[in-house]
Amino acid sequence: MEALGGYPTKSSAFRANLFKVLLSVAVCMGSLYLIQTKLSKSRKPKDFYSYEVKDARGRTVSLEKYRGKVSLVVNVASGSELTEQNYRSLQELHRELGTSHFNVLAFPCSQYGDTESGTSREIEAFARSNYGVTFPVFSKIKIMGSEAEPAFKFITDSVQRIPKWNFWKFLVNPEGQVVHFWKPEEPIEEIRKEVVVRVRDIILKKRQEL
């Protein structure tokens, strides 16, 4: 309703101003939502080294410390028919190529039969005392299902494969991307050849940067 002379009443003017205020608030809220969404996406880990995991004692470890190196990520077990052969060959590979450019990263998993029933600290102690393992043995994780360890899920999503048994091996390059994987029955010599090539690439690159 308008007052005489065609001017709006106070109530209609109030409603118009209120609408403008509400519209401004809605626009601001929308902008904040978009900014928050972009920030959330930008924080999402984009490579293996962007994740954090737990060590055998439950302490948080940033995988960022391995960036710039080649990593062989393995789902290990203490009571498998493959345990002795794999722990010995993995330790030999880890010792041979050193930790300057390469690491074996072991993730115990108890989802494959009754092959890993101990606690994380017991698993680590078993590997060290029986096979002289010096590479990192992290906290026991799940690989399958909704409770899968996010860092390992990145690995399996990258290759679109979930290990069907213990000691699958996944090669992660210095940038944190999965570039190769091997099933347990594949010989360690084939893995060594690929790892050596990747390590040489790192060394050559560093020399060129000097």
Q: How far is CA 113 from CA 84, 119, 137, 141, 203, in A?
A: 17, 16, 20, 14, 41
Residues 53 and 84 placed together within one structural domain of the fold: yes
Residues 40 and 66 placed together within one structural domain of the fold: no
Q: Rounded distance, CA 96 to CA 91, Å?
A: 8
Neighbours of 49 (CB within 10 A): 22
| pLDDT for res 156 | 98
| pLDDT for res 129 | 98
Residues 26 and 128 placed together within one structural domain of the fold: no
Task: Of 88, 159, 146, 143, give the one whose Cα is nearest residue 111.
Answer: 143
| pLDDT for res 42 | 47
Last residue of a domain, one of 13, 28, 44: 44
Residues 33 and 82 placed together within one structural domain of the fold: no
pTM of the model: 0.79
Residues 38 and 55 placed together within one structural domain of the fold: no
Looking at the 3D structure of the chain, how many domains does it have?
2
Residues 38 and 64 placed together within one structural domain of the fold: no
- Tens of pLDDT along the chain (210 residues) come to 444 455 455 566 666 666 665 666 555 555 555 545 554 444 566 999 999 999 999 999 999 999 999 999 999 999 999 999 999 999 999 999 989 999 999 999 999 999 999 999 999 999 999 999 999 999 999 999 999 999 999 999 999 999 999 999 999 999 999 999 999 999 999 999 999 999 999 999 999 988
Does residue 72 contact residue 107 with C-beta atoms inside 8 Å? no
We report the CATH number of the domain holding residue 128 as 3.40.30.10
Does residue 74 contact residue 169 with C-beta atoms inside 8 Å? yes
Residues 121 and 134 placed together within one structural domain of the fold: yes
What domain range is 131 assigned to? 48-209
| pLDDT for res 9 | 55
Residues 25 and 88 placed together within one structural domain of the fold: no
